[in-house]
Structure 1
Amino acid sequence: MKKIIVFLVLFISFSAFSQVEKVEPPFWWKDMQQSSLQIMLYGKDIAKYDVSVSDNIVIEGITKTENPNYIFLNVDLTGVHTSNFKINFSNKGKVAFSQNYELKSRRANSALRKGFDSSDVMYLIMPDRFANGNSENDSNSTLQEKADRSIAGGRHGGDIQGIIDHLDYIEDLGATALWSTPLLEDNDKTYSYHTYAQSDVYKIDPRYGSNEDYKRLAAEMHKKDMKLIMDYVTNHWGAEHWMIKDLPTYDWIHQFPGYANSNYRMTTQYDTNKSDIDWKYCVDGWFVSSMPDLNQSNPLVLKYLTQNAIWWIEYADLDGFRVDTYSYNDKDGISKWTKAIMDEYPNFNIVGEVWMHDQAQISYWQKDSPIGAIQSYNSYLPSVMDFTLHDAITAMFNEEDASWDRGMIKAYENFVNDFLYADIDNILVFAGNHDTNRINEIYDGDVNKYKLATTLVATTRGIPQLYYGDEIGMRGNKDKFGDGAIRQDFPGGWNNDEQSAFTEEGRTDFQNEYHSFTKKILNYRKENEVLHKGKLLQYLPEDNIYVYFRRNESSTVMVILNNNPEEKDLELTRFSQGIGSFKAAKNIITGSEINLDGKLKLEAKSPLILELN
């Protein structure tokens, strides 16, 4: 009996020591377009075991790296209908232990989900700064940084429940899609609130909630016909990521050896005259020292990132990605990553952050780009961000002394280059975001300039994006006061806030002027297809007045932006091509009827949106 007890103790001890600690993806789905699945298995010295699987699952390959704590198991799921199978770990022909792996059934028509498009308006929030719906999760014992609202760059406690609690506000404003900056775990000691230095990419940060909470957010949004967009990071992880602390392979990240910073010169990606070292320090250099740069040219890394992205789409029922620092990635690797996702979900949408200041350079990164084609490159990325329009918006409404290259000509010249893009309707247009100075700071609190900018963003081609708080006049200068200044808490998102801007009664008159205008414009846009896909017809600005039309077979909208500090009379004869046979129009801001014969009197520094009838 003693021998049996000793044997059992040794066996239990041996098994516990040898068990798999992590499996990623933690589960998968049957009937995926891509039948090959890479399962990452992690545990102390796990590579010393031989691996087999049950239920006639075909093993395509087994990769053991220089780190004995990893096994990468590739299986073929073609025609597999079982709900689970076993991964067996053997030593000298005997099974030492097994790991169950689950295969779930997909949602009906999951592959055909429709992503965001130009019929949407995207509302961008930083969840830590939007609303605190559950104060009990503000801090977490397993994570280093604790909540402290007194620190501008600290965690403030906003969470997923806070977003769910205020979906009615976002919907009422006229937004139809929500882009939240990352919600995955970030265990940095400080500044973890932005969550771009992720420490576990299969786990929602507990200070935001749980994976189930995130899935519930998507479900609640879909009840309102709203779309959820995940901010996905392919370029880097955080230094606290558990895999960074025990790398599967030396080249899982870019090493020099160790750390070297990026030169941020993304133009080296397609400069035919570049030096190798400049290209290397752009693509392989780390974004910052706390964010190790992932090596997408390593097939194990690329497969891991691809499956992680698909896992979140399928698990949380997502409607799109915004990809951080897209153009810093290995361009062949990120192209394969993007294509794999779009092959699995052909109606999905992904917008990449390509922060450049030249339309040709931005266009290069969009799917089927005529610029990329020059170098036989295709990113397969459906959408890019119109940073050149952002540049114009931050300057031209402060330029009342119009000249050859100042004032509203900057808007016109931006749209002149639309021919460079493969799909001009599928680009993201915006006045500001979480990385730029607040637009109302740039305009020094001038609501009329805000109205001009918002009108342009909401009525031109592309997909409008609004940064939370801009609609109530929030200001902030990161150049003087750091990123916390442009990422403030939304008033009323915390129980002890003195004022709530989530309701008309709670907003000040100043905030309501911003809000009511934004709501009017965005809700008008929501219901008018001509502003989603209508052809853009623009006229050269004269006297700092910019006029353009959006037209389709059934509707015409005329937009006039008077960038002058005084009233102006606008002679309409010149715009006969856009006006056509229409004799009257409805001012959608005031509801009044306007005669289109003769001249229009334009108020100082103001927009005019006319629905021709």
Structure 2
Amino acid sequence: MKNVQTKLQIPSPDCNGNPFCGATQWSRKKIAVKSGKQLLTTQSYNMKKLIFLLLISASAVAQLQKTEPPFWYAGMQNPELQIMFYGKNIAQYDVSVTNNVVITGVQKTQNPNYVFVTIDTKNVPASDLTFSFKNKNKVAFTKNYSLKSRKKDSALRKGFDSSDLIYLIMPDRFANGNPGNDSTADSAEKADRSKPGSRHGGDIEGIIKNLDYIKELGATAIWNTPLCEDNAPRGSYHGYAQSDVYRIDPRYGTNEDYLRLSSELHKRDMKLILDYVTNHWGSEHWMVKDLPTYDWIHQFPGYAQSNYRMATQFDPNAADIDHKYCVDGWFVQSMPDLNQANPLVNKYLIQNAIWWIEYADLDGFRVDTYSYCDKKGISEWTKAIMDEYPHFNITGEVWMNDQAQMAYWQKDSKIGALQSYNSHLPSVMDFTLQGAMMSALNEDKGEWDKGAVKFYDNFTNDFLYPDIDNILVFAENHDTNRLNEVYKNDFKKYQLAMSLIATVRGIPQIYYGSEIGMAGDKAKGDPDIRHDFPGGWNGDANNAFTSVGRDAQQKQFFDFSSKLFNWRKSAGVIHKGKTKQYLPQDNVYVYFRYDDQKSVMVVLNNSNEARTFKTSRFAESIGNFKSGKDVISGKTVDLKNDVSIEAKSAYILELN
């Protein structure tokens, strides 16, 4: 049946747009058979009827090319559903729907190839609906549409939080589990591992095959850079120039493969975080090629570059033109900027995000370039999702270098309230801490503004955040320099960095490969900080996914990381405890994480010399505790006497 349908021809233009006319004219013809001139037999008539129906079906397929969301769910808190139908001149038709479902709005745009139909799904059970498209009261074609049942307690799903460790993966560079999908017929860019900036073949199957490795490391959640289709002609491996946001890129696998990834994670009590992009799509997105409205994207007309000055979003003295070029300017020329101020656009993005949560059983979002979006629009987007899933979590990329400016974007910020603004965003990323880490651990001499004091200064501003436990802490990600590049693979400095990330407030995130010593220099270009994970491809010299496959350096890095992060899993005092920090002395930084039952003393010696210090200075935090056991070495440290610590090393002491 599929082969027959693909060979059918669309009726010729002289049918004046009537999808049935070609079939109708043909059906009136008489057919001659070899035995002589006679009318159709019963058998040939039935065959002809079948072909007639196929022609009608093919005509409908030609007329209706896209329906998004492709299906929906019954019982959502917000019963309003906006369905986009796309096809050649589809706006000429009137639309109706079965099952006594109420159509509350039909919006047609200046592009006749779109119609947006809003229905009320309140009290409508999971069922199949039928939309009819009529021309002069005659049904031209129909479209079946499913309202599916939600998973049990879907609305109550719990997102990632401070008890988690997030493992950030760039899928194309992690592991190639299925070489058969490295290049596909409908993908513009083919795999070529010899080129740093091309596709290398990593995929969802590769991630699934290595989930046990990630769990062994101690991670409890994974965040993949975008997996939806990015059909850019080059540089598509990063996924941020999406061309279809309802379809997994075929070079990563299928939508069903993504569901399988979610299921395999949940079997391991791990979580799945989707990297969502609200700010822009790729220039190859099918809607960008046939815009529903002129203002679906920001136009000047056409392209204009963002100035990247996010402070213009709240600067009371900002010039309008500077604000406009920040918010409306394109991130890069190949990524048209979406206009969240357009209600059709924002509703489309809201529903797409909710669809993925339901469909793939997600546990959270990381939102790319959050603070470049229209402030009002992105607030509405975030609130709509959190209203549906009150225990979900979303962390936004707010890449700024001032805590007050970052805190502005967190939900219920008192700083935002000064301008009557609430983003409703539960979590932001601690870029100031990340910036401090890139320099502080290379500053061996503690000075007024250098070395460990940078960490202390960062945490003095914690009061600015409305929910300090719900911010993302990290030393690096896919856009920054590699930690081990900055530290020149100095294992002791890596230990200090991870000890800090694992024990401070917030949600720790690590970047794939750092746990085995992977490095990379951003100055050489983004591909250099996004190397292939060794062992992810057949024929790799060594396989760092396995203990026996790791070389000495990889083993040293991994064994330490695994021990640290697996300890953290059950360290509730780290997840939700309070913090008390002490001014660094001689580049030695001491802080405590504590609650009513437990206390952990963290000592970071950032000096290039061994240090000895008196514990009496920390009496208010040590209290009646006599000793502490280091979670890495197992060494017991006597707190009644002076404590000595080696150069560039850490203690994480569980106090007894």
| 2:306 paired with 1:262 | yes
SS of the aligned residue for 1:296 comes to coil
TM-score (norm 1): 0.98
Aligned partners of 2:126, 2:155: CA distance in 1, in Å? 20
Shift of 1:246: 0.3
Q: Is the 8 A contact 1:504 1:512 kept in 2?
A: yes
Shift of 1:3: 6.0
Which letter does structure 2 place at the counterpart of 1:5?
S
Partner in structure 1 of residue 574 of structure 2: 531
Aligned pairs (5 A) from 1:168-183: 168-183=212-227
Distance 1:380-1:5 versus aligned 2 partners, 3 A rule: same
Between 9-18 and 306-315, report the one with greater CA deviation: 9-18
Work out which of the residue numbers 470, 473, 479 in structure 1 matches 2:514: 470
Aligned pairs (5 A) from 1:392-407: 392-407=436-451
Work out which of the residue numbers 83, 88, 111 in structure 2 matches 1:67: 111
Work out which of the residue numbers 427, 446, 452 in structure 2 matches 1:383: 427
| 2:87 paired with 1:43 | yes
Larger radius of gyration: 2
Between 591-600 and 330-339, report the one with greater CA deviation: 591-600
Partner in structure 2 of residue 412 of structure 1: 456
TM-score (norm 2): 0.92
Aligned partners of 2:130, 2:356: CA distance in 1, in Å? 23
Distance 1:2-1:157 versus aligned 2 partners, 3 A rule: closer
Which letter does structure 2 place at the counterpart of 1:170?
I
Distance 1:592-1:55 versus aligned 2 partners, 3 A rule: same
Aligned partners of 1:465, 1:3: CA distance in 2, in Å? 65
SS of the aligned residue for 1:286 comes to coil
Aligned partners of 1:240, 1:535: CA distance in 2, in Å? 48
Aligned pairs (5 A) from 1:254-403: 254-403=298-447
Between 433-442 and 11-20, report the one with greater CA deviation: 11-20
Work out which of the residue numbers 564, 568, 588 in structure 2 matches 1:521: 564
Partner in structure 2 of residue 556 of structure 1: 599
Q: Identity of counterpart residues, as a percentage?
A: 65
Which letter does structure 2 place at the counterpart of 1:555?
K
Q: Is the 8 A contact 1:15 1:96 kept in 2?
A: no
Work out which of the residue numbers 542, 560, 573 in structure 2 matches 1:499: 542
Distance 1:377-1:510 versus aligned 2 partners, 3 A rule: same
SS of the aligned residue for 2:395 comes to strand
Partner in structure 2 of residue 22 of structure 1: 66
SS of the aligned residue for 2:205 comes to helix
Partner in structure 2 of residue 5 of structure 1: 27
Alignment deviations for residues 412-452 of structure 1 (CA, whole Å, 9 cap, x no partner): 00000000000000000000000001001011111111110
Aligned pairs (5 A) from 1:179-194: 179-194=223-238
Aligned partners of 2:332, 2:323: CA distance in 1, in Å? 17
Aligned partners of 2:528, 2:28: CA distance in 1, in Å? 64
Distance 1:406-1:5 versus aligned 2 partners, 3 A rule: same
Between 586-595 and 466-475, report the one with greater CA deviation: 586-595
Aligned pairs (5 A) from 1:189-228: 189-228=233-272
Shift of 1:17: 3.9
| 2:156 paired with 1:134 | no
Aligned partners of 1:467, 1:146: CA distance in 2, in Å? 26
SS of the aligned residue for 2:301 comes to coil
Aligned partners of 1:51, 1:16: CA distance in 2, in Å? 19
| 2:118 paired with 1:96 | no
Which letter does structure 1 place at the counterpart of 2:109?
T
SS of the aligned residue for 1:541 comes to strand
Report the aligned-residue RMSD. Answer: 1.4
Alignment deviations for residues 445-488 of structure 1 (CA, whole Å, 9 cap, x no partner): 11111110110000000000000011111111011x21110000
Which letter does structure 2 place at the counterpart of 1:588?
V
Partner in structure 2 of residue 113 of structure 1: 157
SS of the aligned residue for 1:578 comes to helix
Aligned partners of 1:50, 1:227: CA distance in 2, in Å? 44
Which letter does structure 1 place at the counterpart of 2:383?
K
Alignment deviations for residues 300-346 of structure 1 (CA, whole Å, 9 cap, x no partner): 00000000000000000000000000000001000000000000000
Work out which of the residue numbers 23, 42, 56 in structure 1 matches 2:100: 56
Work out which of the residue numbers 526, 544, 552 in structure 2 matches 1:509: 552
| 2:629 paired with 1:607 | no
Shift of 1:4: 7.4
Partner in structure 1 of residue 42 of structure 2: none
Aligned pairs (5 A) from 1:569-584: 569-584=612-627
Which letter does structure 1 place at the counterpart of 2:600?
V
Aligned partners of 1:94, 1:333: CA distance in 2, in Å? 40
Aligned partners of 1:279, 1:254: CA distance in 2, in Å? 13
Alignment deviations for residues 563-607 of structure 1 (CA, whole Å, 9 cap, x no partner): 111111011100011111001111111112221112011011101
Which letter does structure 2 place at the counterpart of 1:545?
V
SS of the aligned residue for 2:584 comes to coil
SS of the aligned residue for 2:242 comes to coil
Partner in structure 2 of residue 482 of structure 1: 525
Shift of 1:508: 1.1
Q: Is the 8 A contact 2:410 2:423 kept in 1?
A: yes
Partner in structure 2 of residue 445 of structure 1: 489
Q: Is the 8 A contact 2:484 2:518 kept in 1?
A: yes
Shift of 1:16: 3.7
Alignment deviations for residues 183-220 of structure 1 (CA, whole Å, 9 cap, x no partner): 00000010000000000000000000000000110100
| 2:268 paired with 1:246 | no
Which letter does structure 2 place at the counterpart of 1:181?
T
Gapped regions of structure 2 (runs ≥ 5): 1-22, 30-48
Partner in structure 2 of residue 429 of structure 1: 473
Aligned partners of 1:605, 1:2: CA distance in 2, in Å? 84
Alignment deviations for residues 351-397 of structure 1 (CA, whole Å, 9 cap, x no partner): 00000000000000000011111111000000000000001100110
Partner in structure 2 of residue 546 of structure 1: 589
Partner in structure 1 of residue 38 of structure 2: none
